[in-house]
Every structure is written in structure tokens, then in C-alpha cells.
């Protein structure tokens, strides 16, 4: 299990300071809503917190690529984690067969919990 929090304004300031950071952290589907509109900072901050929580759930192995973990929103609104590449390999090595994820943002803080089950 991993948990992480991110201060939304601080995360937004980091994205403003380093415009290329978003491309290193997120796949394009995470950056934009189905309508084509760019996601808000709170939505991106909670996705970042989820990726940090995911890394913690895996024991924080070196070499994970942030873009090898994608937070997908199902039609119902429920978040789902999709892993590929480096993240999938680390999960497989630990015997992870399924993921559980919970996201929240309120009062300027984004939080995420990730459970790796196997």
C-alpha cells in the first residue's frame, strides 16, 4: 500500500516553473479531458500523488518511468490504474495482479492511496 499527498498550489507552481515537467509525468490522455480541454491543476496534482503512492506501494524501486503508470477515469467516474513498461515489470516481479486506487482533492491538498494486490 502507498499513500501520498500533494499541495495543489505548490504543484501548479512547479508546472509553471518547468513547462516540460507535465510531459515527463503524464501521458497525453491524463493531461486532457475527453472534451479536449486541459485538466485543471487539482486533477493533475491528484494524478501525481497517485503515481507517488504507486511507487511507494512497489517499494520505490529505481528506474520507474512516470509515464508507465496512467490514471484512467472510467465512465462511472471511478479511477483505474493502467501500468506498462517499467512499472508493469516491477509489479510483475512482486507478484502484483490487481490494483486499487482512491483519489481525493480538497482544501488545497490532493491525496491518493494505491493498493497493489497479489
Torsion of Cα atoms, 25 then 5 then 88 then 36, to 10°: -50
Q: Which of left, alpha, beta for 97 (phi over 0: left; psi -120 to 50: alpha)?
A: alpha
Is 52 annotated for ligand binding? yes
Written as one string, the DSSP assignment of 47-114 is HHHHHHHHHHHTT--TT--GGGEEEEE-TTS-EEEEE-HHHHHHHHHHT--EEEEEEEEETTEEEEEE
Is 4 annotated for ligand binding? yes
Annotated binding site: 4, 52
Annotated binding site for Mg(2+): 4, 52
Amino acid at each position: 500500500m502507498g499513500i501520498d499527498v500533494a499541495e495543489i498550489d505548490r504543484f501548479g507552481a512547479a508546472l509553471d516553473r518547468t513547462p516540460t515537467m507535465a510531459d515527463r509525468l503524464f501521458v497525453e490522455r491524463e493531461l486532457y479531458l475527453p472534451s479536449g480541454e486541459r485538466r485543471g491543476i487539482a486533477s493533475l496534482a491528484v494524478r501525481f500523488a497517485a503515481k507517488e503512492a504507486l511507487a511507494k506501494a512497489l517499494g520505490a524501486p529505481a528506474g520507474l518511468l512516470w509515464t508507465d503508470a496512467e490514471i484512467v477515469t472510467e465512465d462511472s467516474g471511478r479511477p483505474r490504474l493502467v501500468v506498462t513498461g517499467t512499472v508493469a515489470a516491477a509489479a510483475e516481479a512482486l507478484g502484483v495482479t490487481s490494483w486499487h486506487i482512491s483519489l481525493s482533492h480538497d482544501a488545497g491538498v490532493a491525496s491518493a492511496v494505491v493498493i497493489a494486490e497479489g
